Amino acid sequence: MEKSKVLIVGGTGYVGKRIVKASLAEGHKTYVLHRPEIGLELDIDKLQMLLSFKKQGAVLIEGSFSDHRSLVDAVKQVDVVISAMSGAHLRSHNILMQIKLVDAIKEAGNIKRFLPSEFGMDPGRMGDALEPGRVTFDEKMEVRKAIEEAQIPHTYISANCFGGWFGGNLPQMGRLTPPKDQVFIYGDGNVKVVYVDEDDVGMYTIKTIDDPRTLNKTVYIRPPDNILTQLQLVEIWEKLVGKKLEKIHIPAEEFLASMKGMGYAEQVAVGHFYHIFYEGCLTNFEIGEGQEEASQLYPEVNYTRMDDYLKQYL
């Protein structure tokens, strides 16, 4: 079977660039959408990244969310669209803009698979999430609704915790590197969490696009060796550095109370941490009907274990 042609939207982003990399590595003809104003923003790093994609064989396509026709034209050139539109409040958050992409895909009428920007907790399971963090899930559900109403073939990727946001910092709020002496532990620290290397997110994502087993399904990336409690993750780090850290346990009420006085983006983050590390929202369910697990579907992917991932921080 010929490999699908893929358009990646948000390909310069944190996870988008890993999806571009995986798409090229897997031999897909890869198109990367970029906004027309790229050269005028003087963002040399972003431009150089796009040029490096081109050097590796990608096709750069100009298109804008404020120009419907440009989106339709871009979509018409491919079989599959993957969106990695921004969705982390601490950076940028434009999830709802994807409705315009859904409209373009609907009009183009040729797309065999659309993967919207999800790549986190499954928003379909977060109906009871706390304010204000629930905005992420509510908006992702709104995009799902538009996709399903337009009957666009799709796959939703639930990528759990990216190692860079949640692993290397063990996962402490307000920092991205491991603490040296003391580590805050959420509750008893025994809730199971799933950590994933971002390059593996890219690879598993690409593996799903031509796979009939993942059509109109949610795929969870839940690599078995990376299902770890916070205390287990900290222990891995302690072994790597040969030193024990002092553990300060934070009861749930105290953690939630810390939201008071914080900025909006930080409040969103506290809510997400609460659901992950206190409630166990990533692991408190079985993967069932209409759902798949990526490492089972693609055992050939030699995913990065967290002991290797954390070595980057030594």
Ligand X SMILES: NC(=O)c1ccc[n+]([C@@H]2O[C@H](COP(=O)([O-])OP(=O)(O)OC[C@H]3O[C@@H](n4cnc5c(N)ncnc54)[C@H](OP(=O)(O)O)[C@@H]3O)[C@@H](O)[C@H]2O)c1
Q: Is 5 a catalytic residue?
A: no
Choose, by CB under 6 A, the member of 32, 78, 161, 206 that binds ligand X: 161
84 belongs to the binding site for ligand X (CB under 6 A): yes
190 belongs to the binding site for ligand X (CB under 6 A): no
294 belongs to the binding site for ligand X (CB under 6 A): no
Which CB, 120 or 189, lies closer to ligand X?
A: 120
Q: Which of 29, 106, 140, 207 is catalytic?
A: 140
Site for ligand X (CB under 6 A): how many residues?
A: 27
Task: Name the residue among 37, 29, 116, 33 with its Cα closest to residue 79.
Answer: 29
97 belongs to the binding site for ligand X (CB under 6 A): yes
As given in the structure block, the two tokens for residue 168 are: 């290397």
Choose, by CB under 6 A, the member of 4, 6, 12, 245 that binds ligand X: 12
As given in the structure block, the two tokens for residue 239 are: 């072994």
* Contact region with ligand X (CB under 6 A), list: 49-57, 85-93, 226-234, 239-247: 85-93
As given in the structure block, the two tokens for residue 314 are: 């030594």
As given in the structure block, the two tokens for residue 257 are: 């109370």
Tell me which DSSP letter residue 78 carries: -
Task: Name the residue among 24, 23, 26, 43 with its Cα closest to residue 35.
Answer: 43
284 belongs to the binding site for ligand X (CB under 6 A): no
Instruction: Encode burial over 275-292: b for 16+ CB neighbours within 10 A, e otherwise.
Output: bbbbebbbbeeeeeeebb
Residues 108-137 that bind ligand X (CB under 6 A): 117-120
Question: Which segments within the chain are labelled E, that is strand?
Answer: 6-9, 30-34, 59-62, 80-83, 87-88, 92-93, 113-115, 155-158, 161-162, 182-186, 192-196, 217-220, 227-229, 246-250, 291-293
Sign of CA dihedral 26, 28, 29, 30: negative
Choose, by CB under 6 A, the member of 13, 123, 171, 223 that binds ligand X: 13
Choose, by CB under 6 A, the member of 3, 14, 100, 179 that binds ligand X: 14
Q: How far is the CB of 41 from ligand X (least distance, A)?
A: 8
* Contact region with ligand X (CB under 6 A), list: 20-28, 161-169, 246-254, 289-297: 161-169
* Contact region with ligand X (CB under 6 A), list: 11-19, 247-255, 278-286, 304-312: 11-19
Q: Are 38 and 45 in contact (CB under 8 A)?
A: no
65 belongs to the binding site for ligand X (CB under 6 A): yes
Q: Are 150 and 105 in contact (CB under 8 A)?
A: yes
Choose, by CB under 6 A, the member of 159, 191, 193, 245 that binds ligand X: 159
> Could you give the CA distance from residue 283 to residue 287 in angstroms, rounded to a whole number?
9
Which CB, 43 or 243, lies closer to ligand X?
A: 43
Which CB, 152 or 194, lies closer to ligand X?
A: 194
Query: CB under 8 Å to 261, separation ≥6 — which residues?
Result: none
Q: In one letter, which amino acid is 15?
A: V
Which CB, 3 or 59, lies closer to ligand X?
A: 59
* Contact region with ligand X (CB under 6 A), list: 7-15, 208-216, 236-244, 262-270: 7-15
Point out the residues that are catalytic: 140
**Residues found near ligand X in the complex (CB under 6 A):** 10, 12-16, 35, 46, 65, 84-88, 91-92, 94, 97, 117-120, 159, 161-162, 165-166
